[in-house]
Each structure stands twice: as C-alpha cells, then as structure tokens.
A and B are shown apart, each in its own frame.
Chain A
Amino acid sequence: MVPTLELDSLTVNLGGRRILDGLAATLKSRAIGLLGPNGSGKSTLINTLLGFYKTQSGSARVLGCDIHRDLLRIRTLVGYMPENDAFISRMSGVHFVRYMAELSGLPPAAALERAHEAFYYVGLGEVRYRKLGEYSLGMKQLAKLAQALVHGPQLLILDEPTNGLDPPARQRMIHLVQEVKRTTEMRLLLSSHLLRDVEETCDEVLILKQGHIAGVCDLEAERRANRKFLELETVGADESFAQRVAALGCECAVLSGGRMKLVMPEQVEIREIYRIAAEKSVQIRKLNFRRDSLEDIFLKAMHENGAVPAVASAPIGAEEVAHGRL
C-alpha cells in the first residue's frame, strides 16, 4: 500500500521564522493524527502539503505524489476541511457544495446529486437550502465536511474538525469521522490539539512540537502490545499471592492498598488469576485492562524532547489534561 504521507527533511519558513524544521517520517496507516500544542506546526504542515506554503528545503509525498511536481494531482485526490470559517455566506448549503464539487471536476448533474448526498450524510439534509451565513457553528463545520467529502477524495484532511463545537456537536463530528473511516476506503489525516479526538479516530499519530517531530506512534500497535496489561484492586493480596502469579510468567508489581499491576504473557488466561485468588482467599474488587493512553505517549514524547511547552502545560494544568485538552 502506498504510504499516506512521506516527509523528507521538510523545512518551511514563514515570515522569516522556521516553522517546520527538517520533518522526516513515513506514515502508512489509514487514519493519521497530527497532534501537538498550538503553534507546533500542524496546520502549516497541512497547508504545505496542499501547496499553500512553499518549502525551504526537503519535500513530501501525499499518497505517493510529490508536493512539488504533482500538486494538482494531490489536490484532485484530497478533500480538505480547513480549521477556520470557509464558506460563501449568501449561497445555500447545497449550492455551495455543488459549486465545490464542480470545481473538483464533477459534471454539473453529478455534482448536484452528490451535494445532496453529502448533506444528508453529514446530517444536514433538512437545512441544505438555507444560506450558509445563517448556519450555526456546528452546522458550518458539518457543511465544511460535506464539501470535503463531496467529490469522493482518497484522502480526507481535517484541520481541527471539532474546533469550537459543544460536546454533543463534537461527539457527532467524531462519530462521523469514525464512520467515514469504518465504512469507506478513504484515508484520513486529522490535525488536532485534542488528545481524545485523535485517540478516538486515528491509528497512527505524528506528534509535533515547535516544528519538530516529537514522536511517531502507531496507536494500533500500542493497543495490541498493551492488551494484557492489567490493573487489579484487591483485598488480602500479599507477597505469596504475587509470587504465585509471577510463577505463571507474569511481571507483577504490588502497590499500596492492595493494588497490583500485571503484564501477562500471551498464553496465560485471566481465569488463572481468579483461580489463584480463590486459593489464597484474595478478593478481586476491580480488574482493568489498561493500555498506555495517548496522553501517556504524548507526554512521554514531549518530555523526551525537552520540557512540555508552556502553551500546553502552564495555563491549562492537570484538570484539562484529564479532559484530553492540551
């Protein structure tokens, strides 16, 4: 399969400042997340891939097409949903999406049909004849998604798709993106500073920090690797219980308050743990499969590359990190 995105020492300067500095990575998954604090270069990377910004050096390939040589081809293959407002307020929704479809090369009749379909697909079927200027913020976001989908792109680029949405609207948007991923062959490139958005929709994550790559993480692999990571809360667990569990081949750590952490080998079943607990008269009050959350991965990447950026950590704090907002 052709990689979705290949970055080859990509460097971009804007306004006399280096915004992207020698990015190099190959991302093959169907759903790629661009994660990083505000100002880390996520939107600049997307804009560079679309040819809006010139590169200082290096190059990149989108679905195998070089951004210097095959820009028009890339624009044919891509559907782009920008971060900010992007619409013509005096046009009706369906008229606008039809316009965009025709600019992507669809004949007028097909463009009209697809515009209606796209509006129903994103859940705006009932308001498709209303002027875009009268839409609410959530509806405008969905209309932007409709125009990005209408011509049937191979890669859907979503720049902060949940920006400014209230929780129900955000949930609706995330469900739509998940549905696109599940029911179509389209690939996704989603940029967000919200950990949860990326975690819920992407298979692979490129973490950016101050124009550098702070980490590349295959979320699918992480999910698989951590499938057998268990957290236990027990009453009565002691060293002998831990030794019996370790004898099964588990890595085991006993924490205070009867809590334990286990890494189980593939061949060991959970019922073995229950059996030992019964023998030792240990009550298992809580048992959780746990995996490294994207938050752990993100914070690890940030710390490995120096301190967590001020914009990400200082003003927001632990409570917001807990809500998945950087």
Chain B
Amino acid sequence: MAVYKRSYSAYEGGHTLAAQRFFVLTRYGWSELFKSRIFTTFYIAIALIPFLIGAFYIYIADTPAVQELVQAQGFLQVNRMWFLGWLQVQGWFSLLLSAWVGPSLVSPDLTNGALPLFLSRPLSRTQYVLGKSLVLAVLISIISWVPALLLFALQVSLGPSGWGARNFSLIPAIIVSTLLWTAFLCALSLALSAWVRWRVVATGLTFAVFFLPAGFGTALNVVLSTWWGDLLNFWWLMVVIWHHLFGLADRIGFSNSRPTSREVTPLPAAILALCAATGVCLLLLNQRLRAKEVVRG
C-alpha cells in the first residue's frame, strides 16, 4: 500500500515470537548508542586495544625467538595472575561503560511518560528490564569475558603443552566473575537511570556509588580495626571474588595496594554483599518502573 494514501487498513501480516520481543528494546538501545561517533570510537577502543595488547603479549611470551629478539627472556609470563590483571582492567572499562550507557537506558522512557506505551503492549516489566539490561550486558561481555576466553584459547594454542588442562578452571572463573560484575553494573545503572533523570548527575552518581561508600568503609576499617567496612567497597568485593575464583586467594592485597596485615573480607561475605547491593538496586528499579504511579494519601 502506498504511504501517501490516507486510509487505514488492518494489519494482516505475521508477528514476531513473543518470547523474543524484549530484544527489540535491546536493538533500539544499541541503535541510539551507536549514533554517537564519540561513543562508537570509545567502545571500539576499549574492546580492541586491550585485546590486541593481550594477544601481542601472549604471542611474545610464547615465542622464545621473539623474546630473544626483544631481550625479554623469562620476564613475560602468562598465568592466572596475568588473566586476573587483564580482566580487572576490563572491569574498570566496564564501569566506565556503564556510567556512560546506563543513564540513557530508562530515563528517556520515564521523562516524557512513555513507559505506559511500552507496558500496554505484550511486554512484561521483567521483559522490559531484561531488554534494557541486555543493552549494557552484551556491550560489557564483548569487552570482558568474550575476549578473555579468546585470549585463553590463544594461550592454549601457543603456550606449553598441558597449559590448558592445568588452567582449565580459569574458564568458569572468567565467566562467573564477569557475569556477577555485569549483573551488578546493569542493576546499578538501570536503578540510577530510573531515579535520576539528568544524565550528567546519573553518571556522577555511578562513580559516587563506588567511591563515597568505599571511602567511608575504609575510614570505618581504620577506626574500628575491622574488615566490615570493606562491604561498602564494591570494587574491593569484586577483587576478593576474582582472586578466590582464580585460585589466588593468598595474593589478595598484593596487587591492589592494600595492607595485608588485617584480615581480608571472606568470600561468602563478599558475594553476599554484592548480591545484596544488586538486590537493592533491583528493588529501587521495581519501585520506579510502573506504568502509573500511585499517590498515597
């Protein structure tokens, strides 16, 4: 039917699968994000550069001839610590990414009251959250666990025989730890985006959530000589989880400029605290994501 004809006809074509419909939200989210050249450049940079550096490092570390050429015999090693360091760098980039992407996820739908239009369609609130979360979750995955596994595969193919078998537990460690971090970042970003409508403020708050409680927690630790304050430091909680999952629990503190004289945060406490923070974010999101607000009184 020609578009210039001003008449109405009922739609008689096919429909997409209901279970996949939330992916429309994700697709439109990406399309909005990648309209910005600055964002596209930034994203390609944080996705490609660390991966290429990692791949180059592995190549040099596993090629004695090249090591001899650059006179770096024995210095370069690819082990669990190396993968942990690489993933932590990408963990920081994930935080930057969520501070950039997060504020644009939900707030535009809330600012001009578009939420009832979404939720009056065959789409549940859970699917809405899932669709919006996937915008960020997939972007984080592409810069974190996916390239980490590719680097692992590269190391297995170039490294000494038996390296893969000896370090096989790195695969679930990489995936589980990154998914945990991604879930927390997604929940935090969506909650802040739902509650704070100004983009700059939401971005600032994302960082504030990391640094302010962490500072308070550190002060608490010093004053009370305890580790309980660490529960307010989300990055530190993730560091603890990463070290345990990577089998490097005895190295906690060495690589993160943290005094080791005190007792470190137990793994269950770290996991529980991070899950609790994610839960609080989801509760806040649940409060906000309603097609219609009810005024009590």
Interaction A to B: yes
Number of A-B contacts (CB under 8 A): 130
Q: Is B28 an interface residue (CB 8 A)?
A: yes
Which of these, A15, A82, A179, contacts B117 with CB under 8 Å? Answer: A82
Chain B, range 19-48, C-beta contacts under 8 Å to A: 21, 24-25, 28, 32
Take A14-B294, A104-B121, A113-B3 as given contacts and tell me if A86 and B114 are in contact as well, using a CB distance cutoff of 8 Å: yes
Q: Which of B6, B9, B11, B18 has the most C-beta atoms of chain A within 10 angstroms of its own C-beta?
A: B11
In the complex formed, the residue of A with least CB distance to B4 is A120
Assuming the contacts A75-B121, A105-B21, A120-B4, asked whether A87 and B114 have C-beta atoms less than 8 A apart, the reply is yes
Q: Which residues of the partner chain B approach A14 to less than 8 Å between Cβ atoms?
A: 294
**Residue among A100, A102, A103, A149 with most chain B CB within 10 A:** A103
Q: A215 interface residue, CB < 8 Å from B?
A: no
Does the CB pair A121–B13 fall under 8 Å? no
Kindly identify which residue among B4, B28, B120 contacts A75, using a CB–CB cutoff of 8 Å: B120
Alpha-carbon distance between A104 and B295 when the two chains are bound, in angstroms: 29
> Judging by beta carbons under 8 Å apart, are B16 and A106 in contact?
yes
Instruction: Confirm or deny: B50 has a beta carbon within 8 angstroms of a beta carbon on chain A.
Output: no
Q: Residues 77-92 of chain B: 1 if any A CB is under 8 Å from the residue's CB, otherwise 0?
A: 0000000000000000
Choose the segment among B60-68, B105-113, B134-142, B211-219 that binds chain A (4+ C-beta atoms closer than 8 Å): B105-113
Residue from the list A76, A103, A120, A147 in contact with B3, Cβ < 8 A:
A120
A125 contacts the other chain (CB 8 A): yes
Q: Cβ of A102 and Cβ of B120 under 8 Å apart?
A: no
CB neighbours (8 Å) of B112 from chain A are 85-89, 132-133
Chain B residue with Cβ nearest A13: B294
* A-contact bits for B46-75, CB 8 A (1 contact / 0 none): 000000000000000000000000000000
Task: Pick the residue among A52, A76, A180 that contacts B119 (CB under 8 A).
Answer: A52
Q: Tell me the minimal C-beta distance from A113 to chain B in angstroms.
A: 7
Determine chain B's interface SS by DSSP, over half rule.
Answer: loop
Q: How far is the CB of B3 from chain A (nearest CB, A)?
A: 4
Number of residues on chain A facing chain B (CB within 8 A): 52
Alpha-carbon separation in the docked complex, A285 to B103 (Å): 71
Instruction: Tell me which residues across on chain A come within 8 A of B13, comparing CB atoms.
Output: 106-107, 110
- How many chain B residues have a CB neighbour from A under 8 Å? 43
Q: Whole-angstrom distance from the CB of B287 to the nearest CB of chain A?
A: 14
If A15-B296, A87-B114, A105-B122 touch, whether A152 touches B11 (CB-CB below 8 Å) is: yes
Interface positions of A (Cβ within 8 A of B) = 14-17, 47, 50-53, 72-73, 75-76, 78, 80, 82, 84-90, 99-100, 102-107, 110, 113-114, 116-117, 120-121, 123, 125, 132-133, 147, 149, 151-152, 179-180, 183-186
- 15 of the cross-chain contacts (CB-CB < 8 Å) are A50-B119, A52-B116, A72-B124, A75-B121, A76-B121, A82-B113, A86-B114, A103-B24, A107-B15, A117-B1, A117-B5, A121-B8, A125-B6, A147-B117, A152-B12
State the B residues within 8 Å of A (CB): 1, 3-16, 18, 21, 24-25, 28, 32, 108-109, 111-114, 116-124, 290-292, 294-297
Q: A53-B294, A117-B1, A121-B6 are in contact. List 13 more A-B contacts (CB 8 A).
A: A50-B120, A52-B292, A89-B108, A90-B32, A102-B24, A103-B122, A104-B122, A106-B16, A107-B13, A125-B6, A152-B9, A180-B8, A183-B7
